[in-house]
Amino acid sequence: MNEASHAHALTVKNLSVCYRSGWRQQPVTAVDDVSFEIAAGETVGLVGESGSGKSTIVKAVLGLESPSAGKITLNDRDITHTSVRQRRAMVGELRAVFQDPFSSLSPFQTVGQTVTEPLRRQQVSAGRARELAADAVTSVGLHEDALGRYPHQFSGGQRQRIALARALVSDPDVIVMDEPVSALDLSTQAQVLNLLAELRDRRRHAILFVAHDLGVVRFLCQRVIVLYRGMVMESGTAADVTARPKHPYSIALTAAAPVPRPGEQGRRRAVRRAVTVRASAGTVQASDSSEQGSAGCPFAPRCPDASEVCRAQRPLARQLEGRVVACHHAH
């Protein structure tokens, strides 16, 4: 990895992504004015339910979606609108690991061919590429003889380790991970998470980690960003946001996360039930959310604490007990 002469390995500033679809006259905003930074050796988690904009942010960072506004910088270099050719030149700086390792690994290539692919793009010699690939697969807990085998010969957890080895082989500055452990069983998930934490601390990678499981985020991430309908509702340290959330949406997410303690699970269930009942009993119907636009808080139709100011005025992000919260009533 390059020496960390940069304050942040990855910076996303005021990012917005809009889509136009079919008969719609107005664009649909998938990501709305999102900003964050990730330093070397740091993992930042993006959390939120389906449709919150997590994967769209990932696609924008990887160059798979074109931002409508904002700026993305990698090691202080603007990559917001880089071409495919320019992206290929960054293969040693920015890599990705996706949710389904089987679909991201070619069944017609050996593990060795798959893992050395980024090195071939960097014109690394065959002998040196073989050495680096062997180091990469052993660093993720696989034997070197895995290089001569095919993806179907491995379990799901092992395939995800192969995908991770492919991301690590070029020693990138930034790794983007989109739900990398959600398809794994709990024991395999724990093994992969421990491996990720160890490799991050040892190699000082900056990691953008997308997940819906707050337990996973709390374990791996130092900071967390909570998204709802493309907007940042709350951000701060993982300990603060997951243990003492301030935004009503963060509270609802935390209440929905399962825990192994029956008493605590019962308390969370009661909180979740209270949020749901109060939200459905409010004066704003769920169907109003599509018409709300940017005038007010996007969570107002579901929020138990929503008032007229919430429906009329978008809350500004403000500092509150060590984290940033976009809510009129959070205290």
pLDDT tens digits, 18-30: 987 666 567 888 9
Q: What is the pLDDT of residue 3?
A: 45
Query: How large is the average pLDDT for residues 156-179?
Result: 92
Q: Which two tokens stand for residue 229?
A: 């309908």
Output the pLDDT for position 262: 54
Q: Please give the single-letter amino acid code of residue 288.
A: D
Please name the residues in contact with 321: beta carbons below 8 A apart, sequence gap of 6 or more: 240, 244, 246
Residue 292 is predicted with a pLDDT of 41
Q: Which helix (H) or strand (E) holds 319?
A: strand 318-320
Which comes out higher in pLDDT, residue 260 or 239?
Answer: 239
Stated pTM of the model:
0.85
With beta carbons less than 8 A apart as the criterion, state whether 1 and 17 touch: no
Contact between residue 140 and residue 107 where contact means Cβ atoms under 8 Å apart: no
Distance CA 225, CA 98 (A): 19
64-78, 110-124, 280-294: lowest mean pLDDT where? 280-294
Domains in the chain: ranges and CATH? 10-244 (3.40.50.300), 262-325 (no CATH)
CB environment 165-180: b (16+ within 10 A), e (fewer): bbbbbbbbbbbbbbbb
CA distance 12 to 71: 6
14-71 pLDDT, tens digit each: 999 998 766 656 788 899 999 999 999 999 999 998 889 999 999 999 999 999 999 9
Q: Is 190 helix (H, G, I), strand (E, B) or coil?
A: helix
